[in-house]
Amino acid sequence: MSLGVYIQVPFCQTKCTYCNFHTGVVSRDRYGSYADAVCREITSFAEGERGAEAAAGAVDTVYFGGGTPSLLDPRDLAKIIETLRSHCAMNEPAAEATLEADPETITEEKAIAWLAAGFNRISLGAQSFDDHELKSAGRMHRRADTFQAVETLRRAGFGNISVDLIAGLPHQSRESWEGSLSELFALRPEHVSIYMLEIDEGSRLGKESLAGGSRYSAGAIPSDDAMAEFYESACARLAAQGYEHYEISNWALPGRRSRHNLKYWRREPYIGFGAGAHSFDGHTRWANVHDSARYVACMEQGSSPREQVEGVTAGQALDEEFFLGLRQLEGIDWARIERDYDGELPGRVGELRNRIAALESQGLIELDGPRLRLSPARLPVSNEVLVELLG
Protein backbone atom coordinates (compact mmCIF):
# COMPACT_ATOMS: atom_id res chain seq x y z
CA MET A 1 0.00 0.00 0.00
CA SER A 2 1.35 3.44 -0.84
CA LEU A 3 0.51 6.39 1.36
CA GLY A 4 0.23 10.16 0.89
CA VAL A 5 1.24 12.51 3.67
CA TYR A 6 -0.21 16.00 3.98
CA ILE A 7 1.32 18.61 6.31
CA GLN A 8 -0.88 21.60 7.10
CA VAL A 9 0.80 24.95 7.82
CA PRO A 10 -2.06 27.29 8.76
CA PHE A 11 -0.20 30.61 8.75
CA CYS A 12 -0.30 33.50 6.28
CA GLN A 13 1.26 36.96 6.15
CA THR A 14 -2.11 38.63 5.63
CA LYS A 15 -5.62 37.36 5.01
CA CYS A 16 -6.73 37.48 1.37
CA THR A 17 -10.21 38.94 1.00
CA TYR A 18 -11.69 35.82 -0.66
CA CYS A 19 -10.12 33.29 1.71
CA ASN A 20 -12.38 30.99 3.75
CA PHE A 21 -9.64 28.66 4.99
CA HIS A 22 -8.81 28.15 8.65
CA THR A 23 -5.59 30.09 8.45
CA GLY A 24 -4.30 32.86 10.67
CA VAL A 25 -1.82 35.69 10.76
CA VAL A 26 0.32 35.02 13.83
CA SER A 27 3.70 36.14 15.12
CA ARG A 28 6.65 34.41 13.44
CA ASP A 29 7.78 33.40 16.93
CA ARG A 30 5.10 30.71 16.86
CA TYR A 31 6.29 28.98 13.68
CA GLY A 32 9.07 27.01 15.38
CA SER A 33 6.87 25.54 18.13
CA TYR A 34 4.27 24.64 15.50
CA ALA A 35 6.87 22.71 13.48
CA ASP A 36 7.95 20.91 16.68
CA ALA A 37 4.32 19.97 17.34
CA VAL A 38 3.97 18.52 13.83
CA CYS A 39 7.13 16.45 14.40
CA ARG A 40 5.63 15.17 17.67
CA GLU A 41 2.40 14.21 15.92
CA ILE A 42 4.31 12.29 13.22
CA THR A 43 6.31 10.47 15.88
CA SER A 44 3.29 9.52 17.97
CA PHE A 45 1.38 8.41 14.85
CA ALA A 46 4.30 6.24 13.73
CA GLU A 47 4.48 4.62 17.16
CA GLY A 48 0.74 3.84 17.17
CA GLU A 49 -1.21 1.05 15.53
CA ARG A 50 -2.05 2.94 12.36
CA GLY A 51 1.55 4.09 12.08
CA ALA A 52 2.70 0.50 11.98
CA GLU A 53 0.34 -0.06 9.05
CA ALA A 54 1.61 3.11 7.38
CA ALA A 55 5.21 2.16 7.88
CA ALA A 56 4.47 -1.15 6.20
CA GLY A 57 3.61 0.73 3.03
CA ALA A 58 5.78 3.38 1.47
CA VAL A 59 5.09 7.11 1.60
CA ASP A 60 5.25 8.09 -2.04
CA THR A 61 3.81 11.63 -1.90
CA VAL A 62 4.28 14.42 0.62
CA TYR A 63 2.41 17.71 0.32
CA PHE A 64 2.96 20.78 2.51
CA GLY A 65 -0.10 22.99 2.08
CA GLY A 66 -1.73 25.85 3.89
CA GLY A 67 -1.80 28.63 4.56
CA THR A 68 1.63 29.57 3.32
CA PRO A 69 4.15 26.83 4.21
CA SER A 70 6.94 28.76 2.50
CA LEU A 71 6.81 31.23 5.42
CA LEU A 72 8.37 28.66 7.76
CA ASP A 73 12.10 28.62 8.34
CA PRO A 74 13.52 26.10 5.82
CA ARG A 75 15.23 24.36 8.75
CA ASP A 76 11.83 23.69 10.31
CA LEU A 77 10.50 22.31 7.01
CA ALA A 78 13.61 20.10 6.74
CA LYS A 79 13.09 18.91 10.32
CA ILE A 80 9.53 17.80 9.51
CA ILE A 81 10.67 15.89 6.39
CA GLU A 82 13.50 14.33 8.37
CA THR A 83 11.04 13.18 11.06
CA LEU A 84 8.91 11.57 8.34
CA ARG A 85 11.95 9.85 6.89
CA SER A 86 12.99 8.45 10.21
CA HIS A 87 9.52 7.10 11.07
CA CYS A 88 7.91 6.06 7.78
CA ALA A 89 9.22 4.14 4.82
CA MET A 90 9.76 6.95 2.32
CA ASN A 91 9.93 5.85 -1.27
CA GLU A 92 12.75 8.23 -2.19
CA PRO A 93 13.93 9.58 -4.54
CA ALA A 94 10.77 8.61 -6.46
CA ALA A 95 8.47 10.31 -3.92
CA GLU A 96 6.76 13.52 -5.00
CA ALA A 97 7.38 16.19 -2.34
CA THR A 98 5.45 19.43 -2.89
CA LEU A 99 5.70 22.74 -1.06
CA GLU A 100 3.04 25.41 -1.54
CA ALA A 101 4.71 28.80 -1.78
CA ASP A 102 3.63 32.39 -2.29
CA PRO A 103 5.77 34.26 -4.81
CA GLU A 104 6.90 37.04 -2.48
CA THR A 105 8.25 34.57 0.10
CA ILE A 106 10.76 32.96 -2.26
CA THR A 107 14.48 33.74 -2.05
CA GLU A 108 17.47 31.99 -3.57
CA GLU A 109 18.61 30.75 -0.14
CA LYS A 110 15.20 29.29 0.63
CA ALA A 111 14.89 27.61 -2.78
CA ILE A 112 18.28 25.94 -2.38
CA ALA A 113 17.41 24.85 1.17
CA TRP A 114 14.04 23.42 0.03
CA LEU A 115 15.75 21.29 -2.62
CA ALA A 116 18.32 20.11 -0.09
CA ALA A 117 15.51 19.17 2.32
CA GLY A 118 13.97 16.91 -0.34
CA PHE A 119 11.25 19.02 -1.97
CA ASN A 120 11.09 18.44 -5.72
CA ARG A 121 7.87 20.27 -6.62
CA ILE A 122 6.66 23.80 -5.85
CA SER A 123 3.04 24.89 -6.08
CA LEU A 124 3.03 28.63 -6.58
CA GLY A 125 0.01 30.73 -5.57
CA ALA A 126 0.15 33.28 -8.41
CA GLN A 127 -3.67 33.63 -8.71
CA SER A 128 -3.43 36.40 -11.35
CA PHE A 129 -0.83 38.36 -13.32
CA ASP A 130 -2.82 41.57 -13.09
CA ASP A 131 -1.59 43.87 -10.30
CA HIS A 132 -4.95 45.59 -9.86
CA GLU A 133 -6.68 42.21 -9.28
CA LEU A 134 -3.94 41.06 -6.92
CA LYS A 135 -4.12 44.25 -4.88
CA SER A 136 -7.93 44.14 -4.63
CA ALA A 137 -7.79 40.53 -3.45
CA GLY A 138 -5.40 41.46 -0.65
CA ARG A 139 -2.50 39.49 -2.10
CA MET A 140 0.98 40.54 -1.01
CA HIS A 141 2.73 39.82 -4.31
CA ARG A 142 2.56 41.42 -7.73
CA ARG A 143 3.06 40.10 -11.27
CA ALA A 144 6.81 40.84 -11.22
CA ASP A 145 7.23 38.77 -8.02
CA THR A 146 5.81 35.69 -9.74
CA PHE A 147 8.21 36.03 -12.67
CA GLN A 148 11.09 36.55 -10.24
CA ALA A 149 10.00 33.56 -8.13
CA VAL A 150 9.88 31.18 -11.08
CA GLU A 151 13.29 32.36 -12.26
CA THR A 152 14.74 31.84 -8.77
CA LEU A 153 13.20 28.36 -8.50
CA ARG A 154 14.43 27.33 -11.95
CA ARG A 155 17.94 28.63 -11.20
CA ALA A 156 17.98 26.66 -7.94
CA GLY A 157 17.11 23.51 -9.90
CA PHE A 158 13.35 22.98 -9.54
CA GLY A 159 12.07 21.16 -12.62
CA ASN A 160 8.49 20.72 -11.47
CA ILE A 161 6.48 23.88 -10.78
CA SER A 162 2.74 24.27 -10.56
CA VAL A 163 1.04 27.67 -10.85
CA ASP A 164 -2.44 28.47 -9.48
CA LEU A 165 -4.80 31.00 -11.05
CA ILE A 166 -8.26 32.10 -9.91
CA ALA A 167 -11.03 32.78 -12.43
CA GLY A 168 -13.48 35.36 -11.14
CA LEU A 169 -11.38 37.73 -9.02
CA PRO A 170 -12.84 41.23 -8.61
CA HIS A 171 -11.99 43.50 -11.56
CA GLN A 172 -11.14 40.54 -13.78
CA SER A 173 -12.20 41.16 -17.36
CA ARG A 174 -11.98 39.01 -20.45
CA GLU A 175 -8.95 41.01 -21.50
CA SER A 176 -7.13 40.74 -18.15
CA TRP A 177 -7.92 37.01 -17.94
CA GLU A 178 -6.53 36.35 -21.40
CA GLY A 179 -3.50 38.43 -20.41
CA SER A 180 -2.94 36.29 -17.29
CA LEU A 181 -3.13 33.12 -19.37
CA SER A 182 -0.55 34.50 -21.82
CA GLU A 183 1.80 35.37 -18.94
CA LEU A 184 1.30 31.87 -17.54
CA PHE A 185 2.34 30.34 -20.85
CA ALA A 186 5.43 32.53 -20.93
CA LEU A 187 6.52 30.83 -17.67
CA ARG A 188 5.66 27.35 -18.98
CA PRO A 189 5.03 25.67 -15.59
CA GLU A 190 4.75 21.88 -15.65
CA HIS A 191 1.36 22.02 -13.95
CA VAL A 192 -1.53 24.51 -13.76
CA SER A 193 -4.49 24.74 -11.37
CA ILE A 194 -7.39 27.05 -12.15
CA TYR A 195 -10.01 27.58 -9.46
CA MET A 196 -13.30 29.40 -9.89
CA LEU A 197 -13.77 32.05 -7.21
CA GLU A 198 -16.18 30.78 -4.58
CA ILE A 199 -18.47 33.27 -2.96
CA ASP A 200 -18.41 31.90 0.56
CA GLU A 201 -19.84 33.75 3.51
CA GLY A 202 -16.81 32.60 5.50
CA SER A 203 -14.65 35.14 3.64
CA ARG A 204 -14.73 38.94 3.92
CA LEU A 205 -15.35 39.28 0.20
CA GLY A 206 -18.08 36.63 0.28
CA LYS A 207 -19.88 38.28 3.20
CA GLU A 208 -19.76 41.65 1.53
CA SER A 209 -20.92 40.30 -1.81
CA LEU A 210 -23.82 38.35 -0.29
CA ALA A 211 -24.86 41.48 1.62
CA GLY A 212 -24.82 43.49 -1.62
CA GLY A 213 -22.02 45.79 -0.40
CA SER A 214 -19.03 47.16 -2.29
CA ARG A 215 -16.09 46.80 0.11
CA TYR A 216 -13.23 44.59 -1.11
CA SER A 217 -14.37 45.38 -4.66
CA ALA A 218 -17.33 43.04 -4.12
CA GLY A 219 -19.27 44.96 -6.76
CA ALA A 220 -16.59 44.14 -9.34
CA ILE A 221 -16.85 40.34 -9.16
CA PRO A 222 -17.40 38.98 -12.69
CA SER A 223 -20.74 37.32 -13.40
CA ASP A 224 -21.14 33.53 -13.35
CA ASP A 225 -21.42 33.58 -17.13
CA ALA A 226 -18.16 35.51 -17.42
CA MET A 227 -16.43 33.06 -15.07
CA ALA A 228 -17.65 30.11 -17.13
CA GLU A 229 -16.37 31.86 -20.24
CA PHE A 230 -12.93 32.39 -18.60
CA TYR A 231 -12.81 28.71 -17.68
CA GLU A 232 -13.74 27.58 -21.18
CA SER A 233 -11.16 29.85 -22.73
CA ALA A 234 -8.53 28.46 -20.33
CA CYS A 235 -9.48 24.89 -21.33
CA ALA A 236 -9.00 25.69 -25.00
CA ARG A 237 -5.76 27.64 -24.61
CA LEU A 238 -4.16 25.15 -22.21
CA ALA A 239 -4.96 22.30 -24.60
CA ALA A 240 -3.39 24.25 -27.47
CA GLN A 241 -0.25 24.65 -25.32
CA GLY A 242 0.04 20.89 -24.76
CA TYR A 243 -1.41 20.70 -21.24
CA GLU A 244 -3.55 17.65 -20.46
CA HIS A 245 -6.76 18.45 -18.63
CA TYR A 246 -6.98 15.64 -16.06
CA GLU A 247 -9.17 17.04 -13.29
CA ILE A 248 -11.83 19.76 -13.28
CA SER A 249 -9.36 22.36 -11.96
CA ASN A 250 -6.03 20.83 -13.00
CA TRP A 251 -3.88 20.57 -16.12
CA ALA A 252 -0.40 19.10 -16.58
CA LEU A 253 2.27 18.64 -19.19
CA PRO A 254 2.67 14.91 -19.96
CA GLY A 255 3.88 12.96 -16.92
CA ARG A 256 3.44 15.91 -14.54
CA ARG A 257 0.06 15.27 -12.92
CA SER A 258 -0.07 15.85 -9.17
CA ARG A 259 0.35 12.35 -7.78
CA HIS A 260 -0.59 13.53 -4.30
CA ASN A 261 -3.87 15.15 -5.29
CA LEU A 262 -4.81 12.15 -7.44
CA LYS A 263 -4.99 10.16 -4.20
CA TYR A 264 -7.88 12.36 -2.98
CA TRP A 265 -9.94 11.84 -6.11
CA ARG A 266 -9.19 8.10 -6.20
CA ARG A 267 -9.99 7.55 -2.50
CA GLU A 268 -6.49 6.30 -1.76
CA PRO A 269 -5.14 6.61 1.80
CA TYR A 270 -3.44 9.73 3.08
CA ILE A 271 -2.50 10.93 6.53
CA GLY A 272 -2.61 14.61 7.47
CA PHE A 273 -0.53 16.20 10.22
CA GLY A 274 -0.97 19.67 11.67
CA ALA A 275 -3.87 21.90 12.76
CA GLY A 276 -7.02 21.18 10.75
CA ALA A 277 -5.36 18.42 8.71
CA HIS A 278 -7.64 15.67 7.38
CA SER A 279 -6.84 11.96 7.02
CA PHE A 280 -8.37 8.93 5.35
CA ASP A 281 -7.13 5.37 5.81
CA GLY A 282 -9.56 3.70 3.42
CA HIS A 283 -12.26 3.12 6.07
CA THR A 284 -12.21 6.10 8.45
CA ARG A 285 -11.85 9.85 7.99
CA TRP A 286 -10.61 12.10 10.76
CA ALA A 287 -9.59 15.72 11.24
CA ASN A 288 -7.41 17.56 13.73
CA VAL A 289 -8.43 20.62 15.75
CA HIS A 290 -8.34 23.73 13.58
CA ASP A 291 -6.95 26.18 16.09
CA SER A 292 -3.16 26.14 15.82
CA ALA A 293 -2.57 27.17 19.46
CA ARG A 294 -4.87 24.36 20.66
CA TYR A 295 -3.13 21.95 18.32
CA VAL A 296 0.32 22.86 19.70
CA ALA A 297 -1.01 22.58 23.27
CA CYS A 298 -2.42 19.10 22.53
CA MET A 299 0.89 17.92 21.17
CA GLU A 300 2.86 19.43 24.05
CA GLN A 301 0.54 17.74 26.58
CA GLY A 302 0.68 14.43 24.75
CA SER A 303 -3.08 14.38 24.04
CA SER A 304 -4.73 13.57 20.72
CA PRO A 305 -5.43 16.53 18.40
CA ARG A 306 -8.21 14.62 16.61
CA GLU A 307 -11.69 16.05 16.97
CA GLN A 308 -13.74 14.36 14.26
CA VAL A 309 -13.35 10.65 13.68
CA GLU A 310 -15.95 9.14 11.39
CA GLY A 311 -16.20 5.66 9.97
CA VAL A 312 -17.20 5.84 6.30
CA THR A 313 -20.41 3.87 5.68
CA ALA A 314 -20.97 1.99 2.42
CA GLY A 315 -23.47 4.67 1.34
CA GLN A 316 -21.00 7.48 2.00
CA ALA A 317 -18.23 5.57 0.23
CA LEU A 318 -20.50 5.13 -2.80
CA ASP A 319 -21.26 8.88 -2.89
CA GLU A 320 -17.53 9.65 -2.59
CA GLU A 321 -16.77 7.41 -5.57
CA PHE A 322 -18.89 9.82 -7.62
CA PHE A 323 -18.24 13.30 -6.23
CA LEU A 324 -14.52 12.72 -5.90
CA GLY A 325 -13.92 10.37 -8.83
CA LEU A 326 -15.97 12.28 -11.39
CA ARG A 327 -13.72 15.32 -10.88
CA GLN A 328 -11.23 13.41 -13.03
CA LEU A 329 -11.65 13.83 -16.77
CA GLU A 330 -11.02 10.11 -17.26
CA GLY A 331 -14.05 9.50 -15.04
CA ILE A 332 -14.71 6.42 -12.92
CA ASP A 333 -15.00 2.70 -13.48
CA TRP A 334 -18.77 2.37 -13.10
CA ALA A 335 -18.67 -1.39 -13.77
CA ARG A 336 -16.28 -1.86 -10.84
CA ILE A 337 -18.43 0.35 -8.59
CA GLU A 338 -21.56 -1.63 -9.48
CA ARG A 339 -19.74 -4.85 -8.58
CA ASP A 340 -18.34 -3.47 -5.30
CA TYR A 341 -21.59 -1.98 -3.95
CA ASP A 342 -24.44 -3.96 -5.49
CA GLY A 343 -24.32 -6.68 -2.80
CA GLU A 344 -24.65 -4.25 0.12
CA LEU A 345 -26.68 -1.43 -1.47
CA PRO A 346 -28.72 -2.94 -4.31
CA GLY A 347 -31.49 -0.32 -4.08
CA ARG A 348 -29.08 2.60 -4.21
CA VAL A 349 -27.09 1.12 -7.08
CA GLY A 350 -30.32 0.51 -9.01
CA GLU A 351 -31.37 4.13 -8.44
CA LEU A 352 -27.97 5.32 -9.67
CA ARG A 353 -28.32 3.17 -12.79
CA ASN A 354 -31.60 4.96 -13.58
CA ARG A 355 -30.18 8.42 -12.90
CA ILE A 356 -27.09 7.69 -15.03
CA ALA A 357 -29.33 6.62 -17.92
CA ALA A 358 -31.40 9.81 -17.57
CA LEU A 359 -28.38 12.13 -17.36
CA GLU A 360 -26.71 10.36 -20.27
CA SER A 361 -29.76 10.95 -22.44
CA GLN A 362 -29.60 14.66 -21.52
CA GLY A 363 -25.92 14.79 -22.58
CA LEU A 364 -24.70 15.66 -19.08
CA ILE A 365 -22.60 12.55 -18.58
CA GLU A 366 -21.02 9.99 -20.90
CA LEU A 367 -20.81 6.24 -20.52
CA ASP A 368 -18.02 4.70 -22.56
CA GLY A 369 -17.85 0.95 -21.89
CA PRO A 370 -17.28 0.67 -18.13
CA ARG A 371 -16.14 4.27 -17.76
CA LEU A 372 -18.48 7.02 -16.67
CA ARG A 373 -17.45 10.66 -16.98
CA LEU A 374 -18.89 14.15 -17.00
CA SER A 375 -19.43 15.54 -20.50
CA PRO A 376 -16.53 17.93 -21.16
CA ALA A 377 -18.97 20.71 -22.12
CA ARG A 378 -20.61 20.44 -18.66
CA LEU A 379 -17.44 20.76 -16.58
CA PRO A 380 -18.13 24.38 -15.56
CA VAL A 381 -21.44 23.19 -14.02
CA SER A 382 -20.13 19.92 -12.58
CA ASN A 383 -21.67 20.60 -9.15
CA GLU A 384 -25.15 20.83 -10.61
CA VAL A 385 -24.65 17.56 -12.50
CA LEU A 386 -23.44 15.82 -9.34
CA VAL A 387 -26.47 17.06 -7.41
CA GLU A 388 -28.74 15.60 -10.11
CA LEU A 389 -26.86 12.33 -9.94
CA LEU A 390 -26.60 11.89 -6.19
CA GLY A 391 -29.83 13.63 -5.21
Write down the least CB distance from residue 102 to ligand SF4, Å.
6
Write down the least CB distance from residue 14 to ligand SF4, Å.
7
**Region of 10-18, 160-168, 296-304, 333-341 interacting with ligand SF4 (CB under 6 A):** 10-18
**Residue with the closest Cβ to ligand SF4?**
19
**Region of 14-22, 36-44, 116-124, 223-231 interacting with ligand SF4 (CB under 6 A):** 14-22
Of 189 and 276, nearer to ligand SF4 (C-beta) is: 276
Instruction: Report how far Cα 19 is from the mean position of its chain's Cα atoms.
Output: 14
Of 105 and 279, nearer to ligand SF4 (C-beta) is: 105
Binding to ligand SF4 in span 15-44, by CB under 6 A: 15-16, 19, 21, 23
DSSP bridge pairs for 320? none
300 in helix, strand or coil? helix
Q: What are the angstrom distances between the C-alpha of 27 and each of 100, 179, 212, 226, 263?
A: 20, 36, 34, 39, 34
* 166 touches 128 (CB < 8 A): yes
Q: Mask of contacts with ligand SF4, 119-138, x by CB under 6 A?
A: ------x-------------
Binding to ligand SF4 in span 74-103, by CB under 6 A: 102
Selected from 67, 103, 206, 331, the binder of ligand SF4 by CB under 6 A is 67
Q: Report the alpha-carbon distance of residue 202 to residue 286 in Å, rounded.
A: 22
Continuous segment of H or E residues that includes residue 179: helix 174-187
Write down the least CB distance from residue 11 to ligand SF4, Å.
8
Q: Report the alpha-carbon distance of residue 228 to residue 248 in Å, rounded.
A: 12
**Region of 63-71, 166-174, 181-189, 349-357 interacting with ligand SF4 (CB under 6 A):** 63-71
Burial class (CB in 10 A: 0-12, 13-18, 19+), 222: buried
Radius of gyration of the chain (CA): 21
362 in helix, strand or coil? coil
φ, ψ dihedrals at 66, nearest 5°: -165, -145
Write down the least CB distance from residue 283 to ligand SF4, Å.
30
| Binding positions for ligand SF4, rule: CB under 6 A | 12, 15-16, 19, 21, 23, 66-68, 102, 125
